[in-house]
């Protein structure tokens, strides 16, 4: 306890936290949820009490964190983030406790919470304990594999083209651990979770982009080759660092990482004349070293020098690596038109987006309903601005690539349930 207090006393800078709460059944926002925040290990000391609004969101609060320089220094031995426990309750829902939410200095953390409706007044608290960040804790190193999988073995099934899945199934343990739970996770949420677990959100944006591209390409190789299903398992990927990536149920993510995943999510890494995404493996470059793979700390230092994402990736994986884009994105009503929609735009794509916004507005009262006329006027731009504000995108009122797919994602989430009721 005294060690923890000492560590928290060293938290001389500030990070930020916002909590978003939705129903695990309907994906609708949970209004008036109460969130109590305390230092992990010191539950008697409540630091902040927050309440969610009509969009299921709290205000953004500042919380103490260690100096940012600790997350930027490869040789730092101290924990560069502070840990908080969040206790969440709401009428009609089972309470949730998350212990170990990680706050980095000068960075916004986003804690997404899915609450289960309570049955007949019976409430059973869900408890999640977040383990250490992979750059700080001790985790098994990746077992090396071939970066391109054979596709001509008898009986092996592979997809005919690269598709961005809507969901993947994550086995929360090593492959042979039959006691480990399987989780159905949205693809983008999985990538945001892994990146937040494996690199620091304080790093240069191009370093984050390079690491996100490597994580996505590795994941899409598992999807494309149906790697685990061809071995008789019923999941897409594991949460073991020895086999795949570190994924942690209910961990917080970071705004700087989230925005980049929304920007890049349909991309992966390719080599000439190879159809499958490359299984881009990496190591931390501090506790573990690795020839011919990207090192995370090394990628940070290259980002500091101003290298672009592809320059960072080619430094480690060779000059014949390039960024590709998937031909298909699963689970969306229609693909992005290929150009930004903004005031003055007209046509079917505008009309479709307006229809989707009105369905979202049925679940999120803060978002105004608009006329479905196929004309991108001030009212449509204002509704888009509100969606961007609520869902953590740059607020421009322009429907760019990130915004189009965010609207599609939220629309699908809330409309599926509406169709069933």
Domain that holds residue 361: 334-420
In a domain, 89, yes or no: yes
Q: What is the pLDDT of residue 310?
A: 98
202 and 227, same domain (yes or no)? yes
Chosen domain end from 275, 306, 328: 328
CATH of the domain at 413: 1.10.101.10
272 and 376, same domain (yes or no)? no
Mean pLDDT of the chain: 94
In a domain, 151, yes or no: no
Helix and strand numbers (H, E) in the chain are: 9, 18
222 and 314, same domain (yes or no)? yes
In a domain, 134, yes or no: no
Angle at 75 between CA 73 and CA 77, to 5 degrees: 100
Q: What is the pLDDT of residue 119?
A: 82
Residues with pLDDT less than 70, the chain: 1-9, 121, 152-159, 417-421
Angle at 99 between CA 172 and CA 42, to 5 degrees: 155
291 and 366, same domain (yes or no)? no
Chosen domain end from 328, 358, 389: 328
Q: What is the pLDDT of residue 271?
A: 97
- Tell me the pLDDT tens digit for each residue of 154-175: 545 556 789 999 999 999 999 9
CATH of the domain at 28: 2.60.40.10
318 and 356, same domain (yes or no)? no
Query: Total domain count for the chain?
Result: 3
Q: What is the pLDDT of residue 160?
A: 77
In a domain, 38, yes or no: yes
Longest CA–CA span in the chain (Å) reads 64
Find where tokens 């010191």 sit: 42
Q: What is the pLDDT of residue 10?
A: 72
109 and 13, same domain (yes or no)? yes
178 and 316, same domain (yes or no)? yes
180 and 69, same domain (yes or no)? no
Prediction pTM value: 0.95
Question: What count of other Cβ atoms lies within 10 Å of the Cβ of residue 158?
Answer: 18
């Amino acid at each position: 306890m005294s060690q923890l207090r000492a560590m928290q006393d060293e938290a001389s800078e500030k990070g930020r936290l916002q909590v978003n709460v939705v129903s695990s059944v309907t994906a609708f926002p949970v209004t008036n949820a109460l969130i109590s925040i305390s230092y992990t290990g010191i539950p008697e000391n409540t630091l902040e009490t927050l309440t969610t609004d009509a969009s299921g969101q709290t205000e953004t609060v500042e919380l103490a964190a260690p100096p940012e320089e600790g997350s930027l220094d490869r040789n730092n031995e101290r924990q560069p983030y502070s840990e908080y426990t969040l206790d969440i309750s709401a009428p009609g829902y089972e309470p949730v406790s998350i212990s170990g939410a990680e706050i980095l200095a000068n960075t916004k953390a986003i804690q997404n919470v899915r609450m289960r409706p309570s049955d007949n007044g019976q409430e059973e608290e869900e408890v999640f304990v977040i383990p250490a960040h992979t750059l700080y804790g001790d985790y098994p190193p990746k077992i090396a594999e071939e970066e391109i999988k054979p596709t001509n073995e008898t009986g092996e099934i592979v997809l005919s083209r690269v598709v961005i899945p809507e969901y993947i199934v994550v086995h929360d343990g090593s492959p042979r651990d039959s006691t480990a739970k399987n989780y159905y996770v949205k693809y983008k949420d999985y990538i945001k979770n892994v990146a937040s677990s494996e690199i620091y959100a304080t790093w240069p944006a191009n370093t984050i982009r390079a690491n996100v591209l490597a994580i996505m390409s590795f994941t899409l190789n598992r999807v494309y080759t149906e790697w685990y299903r061809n071995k008789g398992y019923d999941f897409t990927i594991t949460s073991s660092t020895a086999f795949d990536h570190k994924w942690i149920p209910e961990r917080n993510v970071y705004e700087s990482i989230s925005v980049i995943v929304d920007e890049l999510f349909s991309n992966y890494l390719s080599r000439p004349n190879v159809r499958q995404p490359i299984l881009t493996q990496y190591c931390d470059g501090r506790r573990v070293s690795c020839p011919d793979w990207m090192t995370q700390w090394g990628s940070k230092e290259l980002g500091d020098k101003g290298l672009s994402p592809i320059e960072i990736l080619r430094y480690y994986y060779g000059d014949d690596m390039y960024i590709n884009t998937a031909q298909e994105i699963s689970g969306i009503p229609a693909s992005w038109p290929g150009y930004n929609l903004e005031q003055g735009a007209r046509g079917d794509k505008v009309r479709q987006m307006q229809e989707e916004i009105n369905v979202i507005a049925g679940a999120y009262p803060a978002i105004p309903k608009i006329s479905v006329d196929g004309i991108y006027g001030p009212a449509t731009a204002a509704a888009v601005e509100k969606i961007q504000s609520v869902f953590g995108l740059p607020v421009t009122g322009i429907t760019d690539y990130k915004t189009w797919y965010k609207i599609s994602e939220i629309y699908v989430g809330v409309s599926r349930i509406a169709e069933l009721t």
